[in-house]
């Protein structure tokens, strides 16, 4: 089975090559892997002590970050190596100061795994949440390198729990310890014979809880918001913008909006802006405008959303109105504000839990969205009570990082 898997991996590598000519993202995916080994050789010597974190994309990086920070404090003499599978993670975090080296993960072949580990020679390895690569895992096990899964999340429809999943179950056997987000994940792993499981929770709670302790002041937000009520729409996709548009255009004059598109595409941003009836300004044009005179601020930049949420009275978090996946609801939750999302969020346990305790409201249509947002805008008591629930939710779920660090020491 491993031979067949490796053969298929080589085949997919060949099949993906021509896609770079039709997709900018795929070009980054293909080109980014060309110089990985050279980059590693230039930045890691045979005498370096290293620790390797693998993250599928940006969300997994955010989950891994609290552990990375704790590891750096505990082992300052080690180099931190971070790999990404997806361009959306690598391109945004390739210069992160937490790491000594950031690269794409080479394709999961036996040859690549041996070469990668020979150069990196880590003493500890962390896979974040998922992205299980059998050849890397088997080679890590063979070389006796301590390997952990952190913030793991398992569902019964995954291949591990199917009759045909023996190969992937074998790959799971390479982990020294599983640190999972919930009891259901522990139960599923137990059903297939794994008892080396600790329910540590989601490390993102630790990540976002630190945000409230930071200086989140943004001069442009002070100028823009003033004394108005502010709704921040984070990581909005076109499907999200479609259900928001009606209420944005019809909302009371004392309401201000910050729209942070998930993708910074100037044509799509211009198209959305043309549908707005109220005065709107792009972040990139803020120096040419008096911000307070605008009702809508569009963030055509990245890296500011976490701090912008601190100015929000209400947050709409994108991704779940379509099928791309819900974005991080914990970033706004840590500031104790009510959260609105789209309808497709069943794979996100933190959203399900927050909905159960009435800190989050999911909408299915433009009419739904308008009704919920209008309720939050007009009913201050309801808005503040809901926000208290979200803030408490974050505070009561921190501590995963400490559990993991204590367990691996």
The catalytic site residues sit at 60
Distance, in Å, from the CA atom of 243 to the CA atom of 364, rounded to the nearest integer, reads 9
Backbone angles phi, psi at 171, to 5 degrees: -65, -40
Q: Decide if 174 contacts 144 (C-beta within 8 A).
A: no
Backbone angles phi, psi at 211, to 5 degrees: -60, -35
For the beta sheet containing 197-199, the strands, ordered from the edge strand earlier in sequence to the opposite edge, are 101-104, 78-84, 49-55, 122-128, 146-152, 177-180, 197-199
Distance, in Å, from the CA atom of 383 to the CA atom of 373, rounded to the nearest integer, reads 10
Q: Would you call 342 exposed, middle or buried from its count of C-beta atoms within 10 A (0-12, 13-18, 19+)?
A: buried
CB atoms inside a 10 Å sphere around CB 96: 13
Distance, in Å, from the CA atom of 48 to the CA atom of 265, rounded to the nearest integer, reads 41
Q: Decide if 377 contacts 355 (C-beta within 8 A).
A: no
**Count of alpha carbons within 13 angstroms of residue 126, beta-carbon side:** 27
């Amino acid at each position: 089975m491993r031979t067949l898997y490796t053969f298929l991996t080589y085949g997919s590598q060949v099949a993906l090559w021509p896609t770079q000519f039709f997709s900018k993202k795929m070009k980054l995916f293909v080109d980014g892997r060309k110089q990985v080994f050279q980059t590693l050789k230039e930045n890691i010597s045979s005498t370096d002590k290293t620790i390797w974190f693998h993250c599928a994309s940006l969300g997994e990086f955010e989950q891994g970050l609290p552990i990375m920070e704790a590891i750096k404090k505990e082992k300052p003499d080690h180099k931190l190596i971070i790999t990404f599978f997806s361009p959306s993670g690598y391109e945004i975090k390739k210069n992160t100061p937490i790491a000594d080296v950031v690269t794409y993960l080479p394709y999961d072949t036996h040859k690549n795994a041996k070469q990668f580990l020979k150069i990196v020679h880590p003493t500890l390895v962390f896979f974040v949440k998922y992205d299980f690569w059998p050849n890397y895992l088997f080679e890590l096990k063979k070389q006796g390198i301590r390997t952990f899964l952190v913030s793991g999340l398992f569902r019964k429809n995954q291949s591990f729990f199917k009759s045909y999943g023996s190969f992937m179950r074998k790959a799971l056997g390479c982990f020294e310890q599983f640190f999972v987000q919930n009891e259901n994940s522990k139960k599923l792993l137990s059903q297939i014979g794994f008892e080396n499981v600790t329910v540590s929770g989601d490390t993102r709670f630790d990540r976002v809880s630190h945000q409230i302790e930071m200086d989140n002041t943004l001069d442009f937000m002070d100028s823009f918001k003033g004394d108005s009520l502010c709704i921040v729409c984070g990581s909005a996709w076109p499907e999200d913008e479609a259900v928001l548009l009606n209420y944005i255009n019809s909302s009371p004059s004392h309401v201000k909006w910050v729209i942070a598109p998930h993708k910074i595409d100037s044509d799509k941003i211009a198209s959305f802006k043309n549908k707005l009836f109220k005065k709107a300004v792009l972040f990139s044009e803020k120096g040419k405008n008096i911000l307070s005179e605008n009702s809508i601020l569009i963030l055509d930049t990245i890296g500011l959303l976490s701090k912008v949420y601190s100015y929000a009275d209400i947050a709409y978090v994108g991704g779940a109105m379509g099928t791309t996946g819900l974005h991080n609801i914990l970033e706004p939750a840590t500031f104790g504000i009510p959260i609105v999302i789209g309808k497709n969020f069943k794979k996100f346990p933190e959203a399900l839990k927050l909905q159960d305790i009435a800190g989050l409201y999911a909408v299915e249509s433009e009419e739904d969205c308008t009704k919920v947002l209008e309720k939050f805008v007009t009913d201050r008591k309801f808005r503040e009570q809901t926000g208290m629930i979200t803030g408490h939710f974050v505070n009561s779920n921190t501590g995963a990082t400490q559990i993991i660090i204590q367990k691996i020491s």
